[in-house]
Amino acid sequence: MIILSGFLLGFLGSLHCVGMCGPIVLAMPRGNNGFFGSLLQRIVYHIGRIFTYMILGAIFGVIGDKIKMMTYQQEISVILGAFILIFALASLFNVQLVKRFTFLEKVYSSLRVALGSFITRKGFFAQFILGFLNGLLPCGFVYVGIAGATAIGNPVQSTLFMVLFGLGTAPALIIVALIPGALKLNKLPVRKLIPIFSILFAVLIIARGLNLGIPYISPKVHKTEAKQIPVQTQPAQVDTTQATEKESGSCCGE
């Protein structure tokens, strides 16, 4: 359930992506083969972006798995759920948290220069690199996905979660790139559903960490106790004297 929520999170949040990344996809050059050439280039661009999310999912899945091995997954799940909840509430009340972190602005400036060198280039390789770099842009919405991937705490499942997250964001951006005027989708009232769904997702992550015993939502997990290494006792020494006497008696004594 929580893995499929990655696609729903990306799909509902794609309107946020339209506002943030819509100008980038509109500035990209169109293909030489008309509509289908442009469509293929946009698909390659999104493959590059989803590839970035896949790598992030694998990395944070490993981190979450290490946390799980230290038996702190439930606590981390609650903390990450609270993190998602804060970002969701900030989005609901139009508070730009990302812009308040100076180091993220520096990262954004560096990536913006790199994006500028690829955004006007044609060819599948340039589109792939453009998508890959775009996936690294500071984005509170992506951080919500990363927090979810960490809370899952499984490299394979976390990777799948982020891939589905990226796939969910792709359709709206492809429509914006190919259909004039589709950028107005960003102004639809349904955009208000994004923080609401993020809040529900945060509640799901927190409930998972609270160990409530609810199947598929908050299953009961018992922390594994450290295995005690049994103390090896020395084997009892055999009285060789009596054994020798018995053997000698059986041979010579009659």
Q: Tell me whether residue 232 is in a domain.
A: no
Please check the confidence at residue 120 and state whether its pLDDT lies above 90. no
Q: Which has the higher per-residue pLDDT, 96 or 47?
A: 47
The Cα-based distances of 74 to 68, 80, 223 in angstroms read: 8, 10, 9
pLDDT, residue 159, reads 94
Mean pLDDT, residues 231-249 taken together: 49
Q: Tell me whether residue 248 is in a domain.
A: no
Q: Tell me whether residue 186 is in a domain.
A: yes
Please check the confidence at residue 116 and state whether its pLDDT lies above 50. yes
Give residue-wise pLDDT tens across range 171-212.
888 887 777 565 565 555 555 667 777 788 888 888 877 877
Least confident of 46-55, 95-104, 172-181: 95-104
214 pairs with which residues across the strands? 218
pLDDT confidence tier of residue 233, bands split at 50, 70 and 90: very low
Nearest Cα to 203, choosing from 41, 85, 70, 123?
A: 85
Alpha-carbon Rg of the chain, whole angstroms?
A: 29
* Three-point CA angle 205, 8, 108, nearest 5°: 85
Please tell me the distance from the alpha carbon of residue 40 to that of residue 33, in angstroms, as a whole number: 10
Q: Which has the higher per-residue pLDDT, 152 or 55?
A: 55
Please tell me the distance from the alpha carbon of residue 125 to that of residue 237, in angstroms, as a whole number: 75
Please state, rounded to an integer, the average pLDDT across all residues of the chain. Answer: 75
pLDDT, residue 111, reads 76
Count of domains observed in the chain: 1
Give residue-wise pLDDT tens across range 1-41.
667 778 888 887 777 666 666 667 766 766 666 677 778 88
% residues pLDDT > 90 (the chain): 13
Q: Tell me whether residue 240 is in a domain.
A: no
Mean pLDDT, residues 109-118 taken together: 76
Q: Which has the higher per-residue pLDDT, 84 or 22?
A: 84
Q: Tell me whether residue 235 is in a domain.
A: no
Burial of 216 (0-12, 13-18, 19+ CB in 10 A): exposed
Please check the confidence at residue 241 and state whether its pLDDT lies above 60. no
Write out the H or E segment, with its range, that includes residue 174.
helix 155-178
Nearest Cα to 171, choosing from 84, 50, 51, 1?
A: 50
Domain encompassing residue 30: 4-209
DSSP string computed for 20-44: HHHHHHHHSPPPTTHHHHHHHHHHH
Cα(first)–Cα(last) distance of the chain, in Å? Answer: 84
Q: Tell me whether residue 230 is in a domain.
A: no
pLDDT, residue 9, reads 81
pLDDT, residue 205, reads 84
Please check the confidence at residue 128 and state whether its pLDDT lies above 50. yes
Q: Tell me whether residue 118 is in a domain.
A: yes
Please check the confidence at residue 84 and state whether its pLDDT lies above 90. no
Please check the confidence at residue 55 and state whether its pLDDT lies above 90. yes
Q: Tell me whether residue 45 is in a domain.
A: yes
Question: What is the residue whose two structure tokens read 């020395």?
Answer: 234
Nearest Cα to 196, choosing from 55, 89, 94?
A: 89
